[in-house]
Amino acid sequence: MTQPLQTPARPLIALRDVTKTYPTAAGSFTALAGVTLSIEPGEFVLVVGASGSGKSTLLGLLSGIDRPTRGEVLVGGTAVHALPERALSPWRGKTVGVVFQFFQLLPTLTAAENVMLPMDFCGMWPGRERRARALALLDRLGVADQADKLPVTLSGGQQQRVAVARALANAPAVLLADEPTGNLDSHTSVAMLELIAGLARDGQTVVMATHERGAARFASRTVTLAVGRVAGPEGAA
Protein backbone atom coordinates (compact mmCIF):
# COMPACT_ATOMS: atom_id res chain seq x y z
CA MET A 1 0.00 0.00 0.00
CA THR A 2 2.79 2.44 0.87
CA GLN A 3 4.77 2.36 -2.32
CA PRO A 4 7.81 4.63 -2.34
CA LEU A 5 7.43 7.19 -5.08
CA GLN A 6 11.07 7.36 -6.05
CA THR A 7 13.26 4.68 -7.47
CA PRO A 8 15.20 3.30 -4.50
CA ALA A 9 18.72 4.63 -4.42
CA ARG A 10 21.52 2.63 -2.89
CA PRO A 11 21.97 3.54 -0.13
CA LEU A 12 18.61 5.28 0.38
CA ILE A 13 20.05 7.45 3.15
CA ALA A 14 23.63 8.56 3.46
CA LEU A 15 25.14 10.87 6.09
CA ARG A 16 28.72 11.85 5.42
CA ASP A 17 30.74 13.38 8.22
CA VAL A 18 27.77 15.30 9.53
CA THR A 19 28.25 17.77 12.36
CA LYS A 20 25.53 19.89 13.94
CA THR A 21 26.19 22.56 16.52
CA TYR A 22 23.67 24.88 18.21
CA PRO A 23 24.50 28.28 19.61
CA THR A 24 23.39 28.56 23.22
CA ALA A 25 23.73 31.15 25.93
CA ALA A 26 26.57 29.08 27.40
CA GLY A 27 28.39 28.78 24.07
CA SER A 28 27.96 26.42 21.15
CA PHE A 29 26.67 22.94 21.79
CA THR A 30 27.62 20.10 19.45
CA ALA A 31 24.70 17.73 19.06
CA LEU A 32 26.28 15.59 16.34
CA ALA A 33 29.97 15.32 15.58
CA GLY A 34 31.23 13.78 12.33
CA VAL A 35 28.46 11.20 11.91
CA THR A 36 28.66 8.95 8.87
CA LEU A 37 25.81 6.53 8.29
CA SER A 38 24.17 4.61 5.43
CA ILE A 39 20.68 3.12 5.38
CA GLU A 40 19.47 0.78 2.66
CA PRO A 41 15.92 0.79 1.30
CA GLY A 42 13.53 -1.30 3.38
CA GLU A 43 15.65 -1.17 6.53
CA PHE A 44 14.10 -0.52 9.93
CA VAL A 45 16.88 1.33 11.72
CA LEU A 46 16.61 2.05 15.39
CA VAL A 47 18.58 5.03 16.71
CA VAL A 48 19.22 4.74 20.41
CA GLY A 49 21.20 6.63 22.97
CA ALA A 50 20.92 8.64 26.13
CA SER A 51 19.08 11.92 26.34
CA GLY A 52 21.08 14.59 24.54
CA SER A 53 23.02 12.04 22.51
CA GLY A 54 21.79 13.52 19.23
CA LYS A 55 18.96 11.14 18.24
CA SER A 56 16.38 13.84 17.53
CA THR A 57 19.01 15.99 15.83
CA LEU A 58 19.85 13.13 13.50
CA LEU A 59 16.19 12.69 12.55
CA GLY A 60 15.85 16.46 12.15
CA LEU A 61 18.72 16.45 9.66
CA LEU A 62 17.30 13.50 7.73
CA SER A 63 13.95 15.27 7.37
CA GLY A 64 15.47 18.62 6.48
CA ILE A 65 13.89 20.18 9.56
CA ASP A 66 17.42 21.20 10.52
CA ARG A 67 20.52 21.72 8.41
CA PRO A 68 23.93 20.32 9.23
CA THR A 69 26.67 22.71 10.30
CA ARG A 70 29.02 20.58 8.24
CA GLY A 71 28.80 17.41 6.14
CA GLU A 72 26.32 15.99 3.67
CA VAL A 73 22.87 14.48 4.06
CA LEU A 74 21.55 12.53 1.08
CA VAL A 75 18.11 10.97 1.03
CA GLY A 76 16.98 9.06 -2.06
CA GLY A 77 19.80 10.68 -3.99
CA THR A 78 18.76 14.22 -3.00
CA ALA A 79 21.33 16.39 -1.25
CA VAL A 80 19.01 17.54 1.50
CA HIS A 81 21.64 19.80 3.09
CA ALA A 82 21.89 21.79 -0.15
CA LEU A 83 18.16 22.16 -0.88
CA PRO A 84 16.96 25.74 -0.78
CA GLU A 85 14.38 26.50 1.90
CA ARG A 86 11.53 26.83 -0.61
CA ALA A 87 12.25 23.37 -2.02
CA LEU A 88 12.62 21.66 1.35
CA SER A 89 8.95 21.61 2.34
CA PRO A 90 7.60 19.98 -0.84
CA TRP A 91 10.51 17.56 -0.89
CA ARG A 92 9.90 16.63 2.73
CA GLY A 93 6.16 16.33 2.25
CA LYS A 94 6.62 13.82 -0.57
CA THR A 95 9.74 11.97 0.55
CA VAL A 96 9.66 11.82 4.32
CA GLY A 97 6.90 11.01 6.78
CA VAL A 98 7.52 12.21 10.30
CA VAL A 99 6.00 10.89 13.51
CA PHE A 100 6.52 13.00 16.64
CA GLN A 101 6.64 12.02 20.31
CA PHE A 102 3.75 14.37 21.14
CA PHE A 103 1.71 13.39 18.04
CA GLN A 104 1.40 17.03 16.86
CA LEU A 105 -2.00 16.53 15.28
CA LEU A 106 -3.66 19.80 14.34
CA PRO A 107 -6.32 20.22 17.01
CA THR A 108 -8.98 21.84 14.82
CA LEU A 109 -8.92 19.10 12.17
CA THR A 110 -10.48 15.66 12.48
CA ALA A 111 -8.33 12.55 12.28
CA ALA A 112 -9.17 12.06 8.58
CA GLU A 113 -8.52 15.71 7.81
CA ASN A 114 -5.16 15.51 9.55
CA VAL A 115 -4.26 12.61 7.27
CA MET A 116 -5.51 14.46 4.19
CA LEU A 117 -3.51 17.58 5.01
CA PRO A 118 -0.11 16.44 3.59
CA MET A 119 -1.87 15.33 0.38
CA ASP A 120 -3.45 18.76 0.18
CA PHE A 121 -0.18 20.62 0.70
CA CYS A 122 1.78 18.47 -1.73
CA GLY A 123 -0.97 18.10 -4.33
CA MET A 124 -0.79 14.31 -4.10
CA TRP A 125 -3.75 12.29 -5.27
CA PRO A 126 -6.76 13.91 -6.87
CA GLY A 127 -8.83 15.88 -4.38
CA ARG A 128 -11.79 13.53 -4.53
CA GLU A 129 -9.61 10.49 -3.72
CA ARG A 130 -7.89 11.95 -0.71
CA ARG A 131 -10.53 11.14 1.87
CA ALA A 132 -10.79 7.56 0.66
CA ARG A 133 -7.02 7.21 0.94
CA ALA A 134 -7.03 8.77 4.41
CA LEU A 135 -9.75 6.39 5.53
CA ALA A 136 -7.84 3.44 4.09
CA LEU A 137 -4.71 4.45 6.00
CA LEU A 138 -6.66 4.96 9.21
CA ASP A 139 -8.24 1.56 8.68
CA ARG A 140 -4.85 0.00 8.20
CA LEU A 141 -3.72 1.52 11.47
CA GLY A 142 -6.88 0.42 13.25
CA VAL A 143 -8.48 3.78 13.88
CA ALA A 144 -10.94 4.07 10.97
CA ASP A 145 -13.77 4.44 13.45
CA GLN A 146 -12.12 7.60 14.80
CA ALA A 147 -11.85 9.25 11.38
CA ASP A 148 -14.27 12.10 12.02
CA LYS A 149 -13.27 12.87 15.58
CA LEU A 150 -11.11 15.73 16.73
CA PRO A 151 -7.73 14.74 18.25
CA VAL A 152 -8.72 15.98 21.68
CA THR A 153 -11.32 13.20 21.91
CA LEU A 154 -8.81 10.42 21.08
CA SER A 155 -6.55 8.50 23.44
CA GLY A 156 -2.78 8.89 23.18
CA GLY A 157 -2.42 5.61 21.31
CA GLN A 158 -5.16 6.53 18.89
CA GLN A 159 -3.62 9.92 18.29
CA GLN A 160 -0.25 8.35 17.54
CA ARG A 161 -1.84 5.92 15.10
CA VAL A 162 -3.46 8.85 13.33
CA ALA A 163 -0.06 10.58 13.31
CA VAL A 164 1.51 7.51 11.67
CA ALA A 165 -1.29 7.43 9.10
CA ARG A 166 -0.63 11.10 8.40
CA ALA A 167 3.10 10.39 8.02
CA LEU A 168 2.28 7.74 5.42
CA ALA A 169 -0.25 9.90 3.58
CA ASN A 170 2.02 10.80 0.67
CA ALA A 171 3.63 7.34 0.49
CA PRO A 172 7.04 8.64 1.55
CA ALA A 173 10.28 6.79 0.85
CA VAL A 174 11.28 7.13 4.47
CA LEU A 175 9.30 7.11 7.71
CA LEU A 176 11.04 8.97 10.50
CA ALA A 177 9.69 8.43 13.99
CA ASP A 178 11.06 10.47 16.88
CA GLU A 179 10.27 8.73 20.16
CA PRO A 180 6.86 7.64 18.87
CA THR A 181 6.20 5.66 22.03
CA GLY A 182 7.58 8.25 24.43
CA ASN A 183 4.16 9.49 25.37
CA LEU A 184 2.36 6.15 25.44
CA ASP A 185 1.82 3.53 28.11
CA SER A 186 3.79 0.30 27.82
CA HIS A 187 0.95 -1.75 26.35
CA THR A 188 0.22 0.84 23.72
CA SER A 189 3.92 1.28 23.08
CA VAL A 190 4.34 -2.37 22.16
CA ALA A 191 1.34 -2.16 19.85
CA MET A 192 2.82 0.90 18.20
CA LEU A 193 6.19 -0.81 17.72
CA GLU A 194 4.49 -3.81 16.18
CA LEU A 195 2.60 -1.55 13.88
CA ILE A 196 5.74 0.23 12.70
CA ALA A 197 7.54 -3.08 12.33
CA GLY A 198 4.67 -4.28 10.17
CA LEU A 199 5.15 -1.27 7.92
CA ALA A 200 8.84 -2.09 7.65
CA ARG A 201 8.04 -5.64 6.76
CA ASP A 202 5.87 -4.28 3.95
CA GLY A 203 8.96 -2.53 2.54
CA GLN A 204 8.74 0.83 4.26
CA THR A 205 12.14 2.25 5.20
CA VAL A 206 11.92 3.34 8.83
CA VAL A 207 14.34 5.28 11.00
CA MET A 208 13.14 5.48 14.59
CA ALA A 209 14.71 7.22 17.55
CA THR A 210 13.67 5.65 20.82
CA HIS A 211 14.44 4.95 24.43
CA GLU A 212 12.23 1.86 24.33
CA ARG A 213 14.30 -1.04 25.64
CA GLY A 214 12.47 -3.77 23.77
CA ALA A 215 12.36 -1.99 20.46
CA ALA A 216 15.53 -3.52 19.09
CA ARG A 217 13.81 -6.81 18.44
CA PHE A 218 11.54 -5.17 15.90
CA ALA A 219 14.37 -3.40 14.01
CA SER A 220 16.71 -4.66 11.34
CA ARG A 221 19.56 -2.59 12.71
CA THR A 222 20.32 -0.42 15.72
CA VAL A 223 22.57 2.61 15.66
CA THR A 224 23.76 3.83 19.01
CA LEU A 225 24.66 7.45 19.50
CA ALA A 226 26.76 8.73 22.38
CA VAL A 227 27.63 12.38 22.84
CA GLY A 228 26.84 13.08 19.21
CA ARG A 229 28.88 10.26 17.75
CA VAL A 230 27.97 6.84 16.41
CA ALA A 231 29.06 4.48 19.14
CA GLY A 232 28.62 1.50 16.84
CA PRO A 233 25.96 -0.11 14.70
CA GLU A 234 24.65 -3.33 16.05
CA GLY A 235 23.87 -6.31 13.91
CA ALA A 236 20.66 -6.88 12.10
CA ALA A 237 17.84 -8.39 14.04
Query: Under the rule (CB under 8 A), what is the footprint of another protein?
Result: 60, 63, 65-66, 85-86, 89-90, 92-94, 98, 100, 104, 106, 108-109, 113-114, 116-118, 120-122, 127, 166, 170
CB closer to another protein out of 96 and 197: 96
Element (H, E) at 166: helix 156-168
Beta bridge partners of residue 171, listed in sequence order: none
- Residue 10 beta carbon to another protein: minimum distance, rounded to whole angstroms: 25
Q: Cα 212 to chain center, whole Å?
A: 16
CB closer to another protein out of 118 and 180: 118
In angstroms, the CA 237 to CA 227 distance is 25
CB closer to another protein out of 197 and 228: 228
CB closer to another protein out of 161 and 221: 161
Read off the DSSP letter of residue 11.
Answer: S
Amino acid at 74: L
In angstroms, the CA 37 to CA 71 distance is 11
- Residue 117 beta carbon to another protein: minimum distance, rounded to whole angstroms: 5
Alpha helices for 12-155 (secondary structure H):
55-63, 85-95, 111-122, 127-140
Residue by residue, DSSP assigns 48-81 as EESTTSSHHHHHHHHHTSS--SEEEEEETTEEGG
- Residue 70 beta carbon to another protein: minimum distance, rounded to whole angstroms: 17
- Residue 102 beta carbon to another protein: minimum distance, rounded to whole angstroms: 9
CB closer to another protein out of 116 and 225: 116
- Residue 170 beta carbon to another protein: minimum distance, rounded to whole angstroms: 7
